[in-house]
Amino acid sequence: MRVEPVRSPLTAPLADDPGEPRLLEAILAEIDERGPITFARFMERALYEPGLGYYATSRERTTRSGDFLTAPELHPIFGQTIARQIEGMRGRLGNPIDFMVREYGAGRGTLSRGLPAGIGYEPIEFDQPRPARKITGVVLANEFLDALPVHRVVGRDGGLRELRVGRSEGRLTEVEAEPSDPRLAEWFDHRRIRLAEGQRAEVNLAMLDWLRDIGRDLERGYVLIFDYGLPATELYGPERATGTVRAFRGQHVSSDVLGAVGHQDITAHVDLDALEGGARRAGLELIQRTHQAQFLLANGLDEVYRTLRDAAADWESALSLRAAVARLLDPRGMGGFAVEILGRDAPSLNS
């Protein structure tokens, strides 16, 4: 679970670790050749560089022994409850024989283990080629959008400057420059958002590209997104003047996002309004926005809990189940995650 309360103090890095030497050397060489790179480019390489990046070197990052814990890894009750919703979605679509669940950021595939028999399953990772084929079913993304590469910007003189990554004395450093893409300004301008002088923020253009791909591929069905995010009015408010980019390592959170390259996770909160706007432009409609606690309760978490509790082999299993439910429903943590359900040619979930 990668959750950081707004006012909680950040911890210092666990050690003065510059990161994976070969990856750091490759990034520094790119900077020498091309000049300072966008933070999005740095984040892409730090997380997904083949054979060297954070997610490219281990699938254990999201487990109890890793750097953070996701809901599927917390307890099977999460996956079993999600499976109830997916089964209901299949029924609302008329039980098509080619029904498919495509999961982005599947990791070890833990979430898929609760799916009913007979449902096709296709896991997709960021560093894999993205399929370009039509599907009918459900696109699933659990804590995927927050780890897409983001651009970082700062308010200057009523406009924007981009925060790029340069080098100084062999180390990575922050450099201000002109925006690398006109969409960075458009992200704020079309919604009449103005960053205060010195205020930092993130722009997730990769999310818009992902939504475009989903709009292309999803012929009929739903998109089910779980992530931590906020509406624009809260995300760009004064209490988040430094932005939301954070690093996670060893169950600790840090603001040192340029250190420990390849050895730590990097994430940013999702702009829920930008997500919904990008979905509409991709031909998808918003079906529901809620929070994870309400979503799980509405989809029978209590019934799944009773079934698992009655089947528990010992007190330890029962206590583990109870603790997992408490964490999943905690509004200050996992229970407060945003749940966005999008659709194309799909019935309402309330009918």
Q: What H or E segment, with its residue span, contains residue 253? A: strand 252-254
Mean pLDDT of 144-171: 96
E strand segments, the chain: 37-38, 99-104, 120-124, 135-142, 151-156, 159-168, 171-177, 200-203, 218-227, 229-230, 246-249, 252-254, 265-267, 270-271, 285-291, 338-344
Mean pLDDT of 200-210: 97
pLDDT of residue 59: 57
The pLDDT tens digits of the residues spanning 61-108 come to 554 445 567 898 899 999 999 999 999 999 999 999 999 999 999 988
Q: Which residue has the higher pLDDT, 146 or 68?
A: 146
Q: How far is CA 174 from the centre of its chain?
A: 24
- Residues in the chain, total: 351
Residue 178: pLDDT over 80: yes
The pLDDT tens digits of the residues spanning 10-55 come to 444 445 788 999 999 999 999 999 999 999 999 999 999 999 999 9
Residue 6: pLDDT over 70: no
The answer to whether 146 and 270 have CB atoms below 8 angstroms apart is: yes
The CA radius of gyration of the chain, in Å to the nearest whole number, is 20
Q: How far apart are CA 111 and CA 123, in angstroms?
A: 10
How far is the first Cα of the chain from the last one, in angstroms, to the nearest whole number? Answer: 33
pLDDT of residue 311: 87
Confidence of residue 151 (pLDDT cuts 50, 70, 90): very high
pLDDT of residue 3: 47
Confidence of residue 5 (pLDDT cuts 50, 70, 90): very low
Confidence of residue 60 (pLDDT cuts 50, 70, 90): low
pLDDT of residue 21: 95
Give me the domains of the chain, ranges plus CATH numbers.
Answer: 21-344 (3.40.50.12710)
**For all residues of the chain together, what is the average pLDDT?**
91
